Homo-oligomer: A and B are copies of this chain.
């Protein structure tokens, strides 16, 4: 598949059809492998640029990177909570390749990798979770701390060291030594299922106790996305996150979900640059981003809050009293 076609098509992982897709955006498993007795790619800079490549299947569920940090990085990415399925796919490719290649493997340590944090299974499994309920309820830090305590990592949208944007959090295994692949996956899966429950609880509490905060957030997101003429990618992500929550809660029609999910990707700087085919400065990007969003949301009806819970009404009287 050509790169242009790849950009224009929507991968399975983005189609929002996997299990628990409202909260789990995607699941990802990658394996790092190296060929025995060959220097890691980082050691031979000239060779790296000559021999590096990426191979991907048409459904975009599987990719193999050649000569990036390791000789081989096999990755599977799936929609929703599908860690086991992602592992199965990548494991199959690994076995097929291992039949042909002699991988660097130590009986005690396991698979050898360029970076010591990957030695052992060479596996990193992660899921991208959308947790607006926990963020709005200010319970997110508590959840992050609990997850960290049991040896899993929580990161913002762009991986390590980045602030969480769009209420998106990546949960992944920290360790690759001393635990088998399926044990890691099972443990991660269980933790994610617990977080899903906590997110659902938080949303229910918000609907019951602070409906007005919810409708305010959803209304503001809709109003800004529909009428702004300049928007940074950070603001876009945060507002789109609230729209996604709005769809989950029934304030917008379910068939608009894919459109919102696609905007998450398409409003990012590199994607914007690609789709205009012009070199844009930051101000032009912000303008173009707002233009794309306004265009796409034209067909989106106004938020319908009656579908979920009635907000408490304050009755007003602007008529002057008669008998005073």
**Using a CB–CB distance below 8 Å, which chain A residues touch chain B?**
2, 4-5, 7-8, 212-213, 215-216, 219-220, 222-230, 266, 275-278, 280, 284, 287-288, 290-292, 302-303, 311-321, 324
B314 & A287 in contact (Cβ 8 Å cutoff): yes
User: Of B215, B224, B278, which is within 8 A of A314 by CB?
Assistant: B278
- Chain B residues closer than 8 Å to A311, beta-carbon distance: 229
In the assembled complex, which residues on chain B have CB atoms less than 8 Å from the CB atom of A275? 316-318
The 8 A-B residue pairs with the shortest CB-CB distance in the complex, in nearest-first order = A223-B223, A219-B227, A223-B227, A216-B229, A8-B320, A4-B320, A288-B314, A215-B229
Q: Which residue of B lies closest to A302 (CB)?
A: B227
A2 — nearest CB in chain B belongs to which residue? B324
Q: List 23 A-B contacts (CB under 8 A).
A: A2-B320, A4-B324, A5-B320, A8-B318, A8-B320, A215-B229, A219-B227, A219-B229, A220-B223, A223-B223, A223-B226, A223-B227, A275-B318, A276-B314, A276-B317, A277-B317, A278-B315, A284-B314, A287-B314, A288-B316, A291-B313, A291-B314, A291-B316
Cα–Cα, bound, A202→B288 (Å): 25
User: CA of A3 to CA of B230 in the docked complex: distance in angstroms?
Assistant: 45
| Residues of chain B lying within 8 A (CB to CB) of residue A290 | 216
* A7, B230: Cβ atoms closer than 8 Å: no
**Assembly CA distance A34 to B280 (angstroms):** 68
The CA-CA distance from A23 to B315 in the complex, in Å, is 34
Q: Give the complex CA separation of A230 and B324 in angstroms.
A: 32
Taking CB atoms, residues of chain B closer than 8 Å to A313 are 291
Residue of B nearest to A317 (CB): B277
Specify the chain B residue showing the minimal Cβ separation from A284.
Answer: B314
A2-B324 Cα distance, complex, nearest whole Å:
8
Given A219-B229, A220-B227, A276-B317, 10 more pairs with CB closer than 8 A:
A5-B320, A8-B318, A212-B287, A219-B227, A220-B223, A222-B223, A227-B302, A276-B316, A287-B312, A292-B316
Q: How far is the CA of A302 from the CA of B229 in the complex (A)?
A: 14
Closest partner residue, chain B, to A214 (CB atom): B229
Q: For the complex, what is the distance from the CA of A291 to the CA of B290, rounded to whole Å? A: 27
Q: How far is the CA of A290 from the CA of B284 in the complex (A)?
A: 33
Q: Which residues of B contact A5 (CB under 8 A)?
A: 320
Q: Closest B residue to A288 by CB, please name it.
A: B314
Give A212 to B289 CA distance when docked, in angstroms. 13
* Chain B residue with the shortest CB-CB distance to A278: B314
Docked CA distance A216–B266 (Å): 20
**Cα distance A275–B317 in the bound complex, in angstroms:** 5
Distance of A233 from chain B, by nearest CB (Å):
15
A213 to B8, CA, bound (A): 31
Smallest CB gap from A230: residue in B: B216
A8 touches B319 (CB 8 A): yes
Chain B residues with CB under 8 Å of A8's CB are 318-320
- Cα(A182)–Cα(B112), bound, Å: 91
A230 to B220, CA, bound (A): 10
Q: How close is A319's CB to chain B, nearest CB, in angstroms?
A: 7
Q: For the complex, what is the distance from the CA of A319 to the CA of B313, rounded to whole Å?
A: 47
In the assembled complex, which residues on chain B have CB atoms less than 8 Å from the CB atom of A222? Answer: 223, 227
